């Protein structure tokens, strides 16, 4: 009985095994790449969530500042949050529509002029700013003439609603929205808040080869400033947005130095409640909105 010719079998087997191993290797690369991308996306969603929480905190700060008087910033530095300070007449009429703006020579003008002069002395040369940090401004003062509770006196037309506004299911679609925080949502970059604390001293020194990626053989060194530049560019892709609605009266419990004021049968104090809506936003390298995370909270303030 003759043996079957088996010449070339080893070559065929090797090719089959090579093909199988190539497919397995390619599959592992695809899986690893997908996991890496998913991890990056998960990290970006998590960071965007934190930025949304920052927006809520900025909204709470805005409500508090509205009661104490918003910060006014002096100097000539450009500021993304600045705006024109209303004059005395506009400010007083915003507080009371019945307030009468007097012209020089009118009866009672002397007292009016004195108040107007005091107002101008306080706010002259300043501009609105609700983030009182950063920059080299000469000084900050509170706009105490315009402090107090905020009411829903600003109407946002449906066509002017932002993607953030349309992200909340409890905000009616195809209908205008009345808010207490101004004629447009407050927006800001996450970097504007953390920027002042992110400096070179929080990184390892340039001499550290691990951070500098120094190649001893080729004597190439990536300067730490380039690392920081890339990190800053990345962090600037995160932004927050918030707007506030006065949702009416609400009871709240105050507290003393040792015992809550609601103890002993004391009735809860009456205040006004604000719902703060905030969104964290992440933009891709082309400037397109990639991720948006909406959050909301309620705060109660005294009248």
Q: 281: closest CA among 163, 131, 198, 145?
A: 163
Alpha-carbon gap, residue 1 to 60, rounded angstroms: 94
pLDDT exceeds cutoff 60 at 218: no
β-strands 140-142, 269-283 pairing: unpaired
Q: In terms of C-beta density within 10 A (0-12 exposed, 13-18 middle, 19 or more buried), how is residue 74 classed?
A: middle
Alpha-carbon gap, residue 84 to 125, rounded angstroms: 10
pTM for this entry: 0.71
Half-sphere exposure for 269 (CA within 13 Å, toward CB)? 15
Q: How confident is the model at residue 39 (pLDDT cuts 50, 70, 90)?
A: low
For residue 204, the Cα-to-chain-centroid distance in whole angstroms is 28
Give the per-residue pLDDT at 163.
94
> Do the beta carbons of residue 85 and residue 127 sit within 8 Å?
yes
pLDDT exceeds cutoff 80 at 191: yes
The pLDDT of 160-173, averaged and rounded, is: 93
Does 277 or 266 have the greater pLDDT score? 277
The share of the chain scoring above pLDDT 70, in percent, equals 74
Alpha-carbon gap, residue 179 to 150, rounded angstroms: 9
> Do the beta carbons of residue 274 and residue 247 sit within 8 Å?
yes
For Cα atoms 260, 262, 268, give the angle at the middle one, nearest 5 degrees: 135
The pLDDT of 214-242, averaged and rounded, is: 73
pLDDT exceeds cutoff 80 at 69: yes
Give the per-residue pLDDT at 93.
86
């Amino acid at each position: 009985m003759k043996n079957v010719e088996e010449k070339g079998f080893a070559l065929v087997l090797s090719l089959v095994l090579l093909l199988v191993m190539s497919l397995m290797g390619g599959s592992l690369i695809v899986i690893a790449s997908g996991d890496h991308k998913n991890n990056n996306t998960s990290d970006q969603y998590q960071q965007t969530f934190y930025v949304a929480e920052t927006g809520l905190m900025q909204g709470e700060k805005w409500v508090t500042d509205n009661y104490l008087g918003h910060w006014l910033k002096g100097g000539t530095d450009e500021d993304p949050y600045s705006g024109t300070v209303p004059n005395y007449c506009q400010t007083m009429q915003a507080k009371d529509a019945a307030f009468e703006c007097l012209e020089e020579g009118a009866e009672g003008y002397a007292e009016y002029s004195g108040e107007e002069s005091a107002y101008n002395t306080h706010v002259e040369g300043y501009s609105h700013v609700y983030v009182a940090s950063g920059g080299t401004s000469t000084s900050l003062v509170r706009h105490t003439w315009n402090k107090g509770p905020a009411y829903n006196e600003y109407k946002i037309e449906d066509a002017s609603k932002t993607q953030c506004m349309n992200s909340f299911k409890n905000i009616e679609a195809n209908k205008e929205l009345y808010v207490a925080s101004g004629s447009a949502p407050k927006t800001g970059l996450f970097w504007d808040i953390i920027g002042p604390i992110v400096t070179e001293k929080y990184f390892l020194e340039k001499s550290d080869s691990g951070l500098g990626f120094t190649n001893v053989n080729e004597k190439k060194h990536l300067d730490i400033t380039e690392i920081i530049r890339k990190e800053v560019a990345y962090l600037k892709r995160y932004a927050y947005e918030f707007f506030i609605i006065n949702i009416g009266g609400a009871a709240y419990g105050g507290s003393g130095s040792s015992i809550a004021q609601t103890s002993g049968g004391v009735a809860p104090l009456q205040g006004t409640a604000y719902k703060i809506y905030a969104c964290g936003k992440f933009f891709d390298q082309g400037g397109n909105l990639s991720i948006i995370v909406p959050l909301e909270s309620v705060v109660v303030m005294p009248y």
